[in-house]
């Protein structure tokens, strides 16, 4: 939606209203046509929507509860909820969204309130990808339950997570294909599943290209811009410094950009940089940042699609679905300078 908004010269909200045919949005027809034209120009295939949306009262199929651990500290949950809404645009599903904040007592009160609202299904969502110790009430519910961005060891519920190992591998391979062999990575906090998986992917890519792993080229950050700045300064002090840096999120990549520019280094001619997440700021950095999409919208869409499939486990287990983190190629990568 950001790409279409930039092409059409409108806001992301306007794009959402047009593509979702949001009721009551009094947009000029010319604006609608401009958004649709921009989407086609960028190669997006638009869904076939009904000429006139049905009244919500006749289209409602069920009320879906969404429980998420955080809403206020990150936009990721909102993106996933929007994906669920768009996937439901022709069904009339009603969503009741509640934030849990990691408190068991709040969770119990929340599920009781949702049950009183007569929800027909539940989407249980985590912000940080992780293995979940499922609350007891999930197993007691007599309605379908899906997990978004989390999973359980026993796989008792259908779940979806980003394909982080493949994402880390593809990002690193992109740098290798440009001729880089001294590739550093700035990780998130080591205890997080996303950090561990992206690092596994990074190491796999190096091994595939027969590049020895150098622990000196791995610096831990904490996902913040400041940690990306500090980690880059540390990497540049290495005697045989890297020619490329894989920042494991876009915010740390911003700090990386600032550190490199402060030292008079050009991106990508002196050092290439790639990020992860594809936040909106990645498009507006100079140069625009090559990064991988964190597929929260696609995971929200998956949740709705999965709720429409009979809940029949395979040998009492539901396989974990992994959604691709596609690489968005921009202008922050170039071949390394010849020595």
Q: Has residue 311 been placed in a domain?
A: no
Tell me how far apart the alpha carbons of residues 240 and 235 are, in angstroms, rounded to a whole number.
9
Q: Has residue 157 been placed in a domain?
A: no
Sheet (strand 218-220) strand order = 218-220, 183-187, 244-247, 272-274
Task: Find the range with the poorest average confidence among 43-52, 168-177, 230-239.
Answer: 43-52
Residue 75's pLDDT band (boundaries 50, 70, 90)?
Answer: confident
Tell me how far apart the alpha carbons of residues 116 and 224 are, in angstroms, rounded to a whole number.
40
The radius of gyration of the chain from alpha carbons, rounded to an integer in Å, stands at 22
Query: Are 65 and 98 spatial neighbours (Cβ–Cβ below 8 Å)?
Result: yes
Q: Has residue 156 been placed in a domain?
A: no
End position of a domain, from candidates 36, 53, 70: 53
For the question of whether the overall pTM of this predicted structure is more than 0.85, the answer is no
List, in order, residues 6 or more apart from 7 with CB less than 8 Å away: 38, 41, 42
The domain that holds 7 is classified in CATH as 1.10.260
Q: What does the pLDDT read at residue 56?
A: 35
- Alpha-carbon distances of 66 from 69, 71, 132, 146, 187, rounded to whole Å: 10, 11, 16, 10, 30
The per-residue pLDDT of the chain, averaged, comes to 88
Q: For residue range 22-73, what is the model confidence (pLDDT) as tens digits?
A: 544 567 788 788 888 888 888 887 655 444 333 333 333 589 999 998 886 6
Q: What does the pLDDT read at residue 50?
A: 43
Q: Has residue 281 been placed in a domain?
A: yes
Does the pLDDT value for residue 165 go beyond 70?
Answer: yes
Q: Has residue 236 been placed in a domain?
A: yes
Q: Has residue 327 been placed in a domain?
A: no
List, in order, residues 6 or more apart from 72 with CB less than 8 Å away: 99
258-286 in b/e form (b: 16+ CB < 10 A) is bbbeeeeeebbeebbbbbbbbbebbeebe
Does the pLDDT value for residue 118 go beyond 50?
Answer: yes
List, in order, residues 6 or more apart from 253 with CB less than 8 Å away: 228, 247, 273, 274, 275, 276, 282, 285, 289, 291
Task: Find the range with the poorest average confidence among 3-7, 138-142, 154-158, 200-204.
Answer: 3-7
| Ramachandran class of 304: left when φ > 0, alpha when ψ lies in -120 to 50, beta otherwise | alpha
C-alpha 272: how far from its chain's center? 23
End position of a domain, from candidates 33, 53, 73: 53
Neighbours of 208 (CB within 10 A): 12
Answer with the residue of higher pLDDT: 196 or 136. 196
User: Mean of the pLDDT values across residues 277-285?
Assistant: 92
Q: Has residue 151 been placed in a domain?
A: no
| Ramachandran class of 144: left when φ > 0, alpha when ψ lies in -120 to 50, beta otherwise | beta
Above pLDDT 70, what percent of the chain? Answer: 90
How many domains in the chain?
2
Q: What domain range includes position 248?
A: 164-294
Residue 175's pLDDT band (boundaries 50, 70, 90)?
Answer: very high
The domain that holds 203 is classified in CATH as 3.40.50.2300
Query: Are 229 and 221 spatial neighbours (Cβ–Cβ below 8 Å)?
Result: no
Q: Has residue 92 been placed in a domain?
A: no
Tell me how far apart the alpha carbons of residues 145 and 138 are, in angstroms, rounded to a whole number.
7
Residue 162's pLDDT band (boundaries 50, 70, 90)?
Answer: very high
Both structure tokens of 105: 């007592």
């Amino acid at each position: 939606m950001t790409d279409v908004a930039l092409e059409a010269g409108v806001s992301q909200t306007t794009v959402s209203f047009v593509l979702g045919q949001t009721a009551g949005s009094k947009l000029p027809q010319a604006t609608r046509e401009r958004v649709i034209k921009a989407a086609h120009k960028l190669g997006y295939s638009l869904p076939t929507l009904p000429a006139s949306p049905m009244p919500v009262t006749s289209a409602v199929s069920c009320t879906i509860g969404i429980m998420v651990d955080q809403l206020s500290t990150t936009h990721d949950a909102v993106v996933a909820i929007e994906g669920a809404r768009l996937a439901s645009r022709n069904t009339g599903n009603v969503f009741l969204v509640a934030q849990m904040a990691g408190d068991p007592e709040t969770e119990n009160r929340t599920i009781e309130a949702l049950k009183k609202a007569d929800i027909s299904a539940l989407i249980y969502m985590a912000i940080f990808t992780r293995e979940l110790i499922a609350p007891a009430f999930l197993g007691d519910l007599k309605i379908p339950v899906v997990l978004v961005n989390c999973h359980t060891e026993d796989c008792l519920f259908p779940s979806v997570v980003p394909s982080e190992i493949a994402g880390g591998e593809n990002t690193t391979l992109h740098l290798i294909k440009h001729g880089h062999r001294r590739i550093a990575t700035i990780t998130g906090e080591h205890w997080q599943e996303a950090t561990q998986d992206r690092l596994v992917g990074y190491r796999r890519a190096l091994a595939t290209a027969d590049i020895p792993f150098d622990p000196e080229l791995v610096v831990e950050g904490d996902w913040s811009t400041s940690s990306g700045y500090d980690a880059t300064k540390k990497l540049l002090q290495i005697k045989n410094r890297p020619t490329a840096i894989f920042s494991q999120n876009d915010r740390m990549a911003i700090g990386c950009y600032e550190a490199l520019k402060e030292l008079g280094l050009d991106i990508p001619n002196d050092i290439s940089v790639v990020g992860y997440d594809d936040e909106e700021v990645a498009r507006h950095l100079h140069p625009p940042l090559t990064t991988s999409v964190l597929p929260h919208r696609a995971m929200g869409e998956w949740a709705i699609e999965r709720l429409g499939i009979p809940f029949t486990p395979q040998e009492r287990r539901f396989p974990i679905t992994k959604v691709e983190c596609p690489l968005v190629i921009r202008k922050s990568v170039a071949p390394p300078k010849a020595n």
